[in-house]
Amino acid sequence: MIIMSKVIIDEGETCGICLEDLIDVDNVIQLKCSHKYCYECIFNSYYTPYKSFNKKKHRECPYCRKNGGYLPLPENTLPFKDIHKEYLLHNLPKLPFWRGISYYKKDILLAIAKKVGISTTKENNKIKLKKELYNDIKTAYTTNPSILNTY
């Protein structure tokens, strides 16, 4: 498992889950809340809600209970739902849109636009607004339904 990790580890710092010295661990992950864990330990902690069906929040830091953010995706690994942000991009929602704009996150709309060959930027080279992306995608498959076959 290869994860590019730029986490700075202080002498004597340990993983809050397995208590291993982080100096000895290859894949140390620093969450958004700044707490550090072995990749495997925090992955299993994030993953546990799906096994136990308890009410734990997604991506919760086991120490401070804040949202720890997504984990980096190791090389040659498939993304997991609610653990790696790549999951959303690997599992784009089906077209045509059958939900309102608020259901779709902007990075998902950007990924859909790229996939169906719509420009994601405006004339001034700025990234389109969420509403523009949503409408442009809609226009694209309404005027040319065949793009749905290749999507």
Contact residues for Zn ion, defined by CB under 5 A: 15, 17-18, 20, 33, 35, 38, 41, 61, 63-64
Cα–chain-centroid distance for residue 141?
26
| CB 51, min distance to Zn ion, A | 18
For the chain, give the number of residues.
Answer: 151
**69/93 with CB nearer Zn ion:** 69
| CB 67, min distance to Zn ion, A | 9
* Pairwise CA distance, residues 137 & 106, whole Å: 12
**59/84 with CB nearer Zn ion:** 59
| CB 15, min distance to Zn ion, A | 3
* Pairwise CA distance, residues 7 & 69, whole Å: 15
* Pairwise CA distance, residues 2 & 9, whole Å: 18
CB count in 10 Å sphere of residue 45: 19
**63/97 with CB nearer Zn ion:** 63
* Pairwise CA distance, residues 121 & 58, whole Å: 32
Cα 58–Cα 100–Cα 108 angle in degrees, nearest 5: 55
Cα–chain-centroid distance for residue 132?
23
| CB 54, min distance to Zn ion, A | 18
| CB 6, min distance to Zn ion, A | 18
**26/107 with CB nearer Zn ion:** 26
**20/132 with CB nearer Zn ion:** 20
